[in-house]
Structure 1
Amino acid sequence: MPLASAVPVVLTASERHRLKKMAYGHKTPHQARQRATIVLLAARGRPNARIAVQTRLHVDTVRTWRGRFAAGGLPALADRKRSGRPVSFTALQVAEVKALACQLPAETGAPLSRWSCPELAREVVARSIVGSISTSTVRRWLKQDALKPWQHHSWVFITDSGFRIKAARVLDLYARTWDGVPLSEDEYVISADEKTSIQARCRCHPTLAPGQARAMRVNHEYDRGGALAYLAAYDVHRAHVLAAANPGPVSGPS
């Protein structure tokens, strides 16, 4: 059977410029550099077998990326989206594990002063929050969280028997459902909070910037500008913050 001829590749000036930056850029990922090199060599009319030898890649790999570029241009050189492995744990289960991490082990009867990831994984299974979970999964969840309240203990972390019900309602809202009914397009989910008595202070002398082997220097004298109350509402689905600051009474210098 006759061999299929290589797909011809023709580049515009803009495409050639971008491909050269990809192929020779020091910060370009290795795979992107290889793909750009394949296309540049293909644009010179070289056959797939010769390109495979030059790039030390399999000829099927060269044929694939040459064909993708010919069909879709530069965007086709990116990895295609993959469905990935199905989610093993629900958002509610993740929240319950983090809530348990915020509790003292003594509250559960465990003879520990603080939780370790292996002990936390065993406790989660013992409470039937999940059927099974690895220590590395617990460690990854706690590490990825932006706020880590389990690293200290405070009066805020009170055991609530209704936590599961309350958490489920909040997580449903984040998933745009309420009582099992999807929210409509004109319905919003807002997370609002207020920070009161923020002292508005103005330093009487300028702050000296830090330098080599010298810490930043801040003078202790300041003028009181009163107090502010900061109110903010976060649109959780549109990543938009609505905020306002209301001034309080103004007092004299200190």
Structure 2
Amino acid sequence: MTCSIVVEELDIVPMRSPFVVSLTVEQRSELENLSRRVRMPYREVVRARIVLAAADGESNASIARRLMVCVDTVRVWRKRFCVHGIGGLVDQPRSGRPRIFPATAVAEVKALACELPARTGVPLARWSCPELAEQARLRGIVEQVSASTVRRWLTADALKPWQHRSWIFPRDPYFALKAARALDLYARVWEGEPLDENDFVLSADEKPGVQARRRIRASLPPGPQQPMRVEAEYARGGTLAYFAAYDVHRAHVIGRCEPTTGIAPFSRLVNQVMTTEPYASARRVFWVVDNGASHRNWAAAARMNDAYPNAHMVHLPVHASWLNQVEIYFSVLQRKALTPDDFPNLDAVAGRLMAFQDHYNRTAQPFDWTFNRTDLNQLLARISRHEPDAPHPAPA
């Protein structure tokens, strides 16, 4: 006995969504732009494509198959668009994971990070995140916490206790007065009166110990995915000193190379500058210098003024070379012309220094110097707050 079963093919009609998408011209244009972007999260691109397909009459099931997403995902974003428009395609704020550590514990760990370890009885020079996590546990602040969690807490307040920066406390009793005079000159003011066009301000100093280091192997130029390579071993070829005077307002450098530092080499720089125009016929030429041995104290100022009556030496406070603008030029010189170095002899070093000086003068612009008397007063007030019992100069 043979039995045959006949299966009738049924046409299953998908259920129509109650949320019918209808787009304006502006909405369609914006969604099409979103759907084609390659530099935005892919989930947002998919949402835009879901809405566009729904507006073209596709069913949820068809959209899900074509875009390879869940049907529920299509239902969610179709509904969101119908209720909230394009703004509804953005993720809504979420509460996030419940807080594990109380806010007081986080604050105590941050406060601990802001203390010097030695003052808390811990034999460390500076904190690290693992050490802070261990100290928080030992002090009963938390039962257990990971170093990565501590690092995340500190990052929220830009705290990095494992770093340090050196500084020098101003010990010159006339720090404010001397610093203010230099800052006034940078602003083209002297003793309360503006400088005229025939007054010039020079920032001068020396860069000692410029080495002629010859690499044992020749340096290799950069290539595809390969930086420049410089041999670590080298042979010493001696050192020289580079003296420079930087015209603060004209951005012009006059320099020379000398075998060593000293009064005589600095005097030769002064002669070189003061015998050239426009300085030779200037009404006044102010030389801002630090307290280096080549141009220290009143004797150096008297020597300069005796040789050139229109030249006036203005000393910065002790340990305040950061107020000397020529130091910025020296930094540029070091980075662009001397690092990395590979010189066969001192003549090559001198040639590089003078060639870079000419190169710099052709395109240089004055430094954008913004530190003024107001900033100086704020600095001194901040120092006073940190060291209330230490002697410090009065604000200018």
In the superposition, the TM-score normalised over structure 1's length comes to: 0.60
Q: Which one of the candidate residues 236, 244, 249 is aligned to 1:204? A: 249
- State the partner residue of 2:323: none
CA distance in 1, matches of 2:80, 2:368: 64
- Three-state SS of the structure 2 residue aligned to 1:73 is helix
Say if 2:144 is the partner of 1:132: yes
CA contact under 8 A between 1:15 and 1:74: conserved in structure 2? Answer: yes
Report deviation, 1:112: 3.3
- State the partner residue of 2:373: 227
Report deviation, 1:147: 4.8
Say if 2:100 is the partner of 1:88: yes
Q: Which one of the candidate residues 16, 21, 24 is aligned to 1:5? A: 16
Q: Which has the larger radius of gyration?
A: 2
Identity rate of aligned residues, in percent?
Answer: 44
Larger mean CA deviation between 141-150 and 9-18 belongs to 141-150
Report deviation, 1:144: 3.6
Structure 1 segment 27-176 matched on structure 2, within 5 A:
27-148=39-160, 151-152=163-164
Bigger relative contact order, structure 1 or 2 (CA pairs below 8 A, ≥6 apart): 2
CA distance in 2, matches of 1:99, 1:15: 51
Structure 1 segment 178-193 matched on structure 2, within 5 A:
none
CA distance in 1, matches of 2:367, 2:28: 61
CA distance in 2, matches of 1:126, 1:16: 61
CA distance in 1, matches of 2:50, 2:368: 64
CA contact under 8 A between 1:8 and 1:70: conserved in structure 2? Answer: yes
In the superposition, the TM-score normalised over structure 2's length comes to: 0.40
Report deviation, 1:93: 3.2
Matched length: 190
Residues 221 and 123 from structure 1, CA distance in 2 versus in 1: closer, same or farther, beyond 3 angstroms? closer
CA contact under 8 A between 1:34 and 1:55: conserved in structure 2? Answer: yes
- Three-state SS of the structure 1 residue aligned to 2:130 is helix
Residues 68 and 53 from structure 1, CA distance in 2 versus in 1: closer, same or farther, beyond 3 angstroms? same
CA contact under 8 A between 1:199 and 1:228: conserved in structure 2? Answer: no
Report deviation, 1:94: 2.7
CA distance in 1, matches of 2:127, 2:47: 47
Which sections of structure 1, spanning at least 5 residues, go unmatched?
Answer: 156-196, 232-247, 250-254
What value does the CA root-mean-square deviation take over the aligned residues?
A: 4.1
Residues 14 and 220 from structure 1, CA distance in 2 versus in 1: closer, same or farther, beyond 3 angstroms? closer
Residues 207 and 137 from structure 1, CA distance in 2 versus in 1: closer, same or farther, beyond 3 angstroms? farther
Which sections of structure 2, spanning at least 5 residues, go unmatched?
Answer: 1-12, 168-179, 188-247, 254-331, 338-358, 379-394
CA distance in 1, matches of 2:127, 2:154: 12
CA deviations over 1:200-221 (Å, ceiling 9, x no partner): 634312489x9xx958967899
Letter in 2 for 1:227: R
CA deviations over 1:154-192 (Å, ceiling 9, x no partner): 89xxxxxxxxxxxxxxxxxxxxxxxxxxxxxxxxxxxxx
CA deviations over 1:16-73 (Å, ceiling 9, x no partner): 1111111101112111000000001111111111111110011111111111111221
CA distance in 2, matches of 1:72, 1:85: 27
Residues 12 and 207 from structure 1, CA distance in 2 versus in 1: closer, same or farther, beyond 3 angstroms? farther
Letter in 2 for 1:5: R
Report deviation, 1:152: 2.0
CA distance in 2, matches of 1:60, 1:22: 22
Larger mean CA deviation between 36-45 and 83-92 belongs to 83-92
CA contact under 8 A between 1:9 and 1:39: conserved in structure 2? Answer: yes
- Three-state SS of the structure 2 residue aligned to 1:151 is coil
- Three-state SS of the structure 1 residue aligned to 2:374 is strand
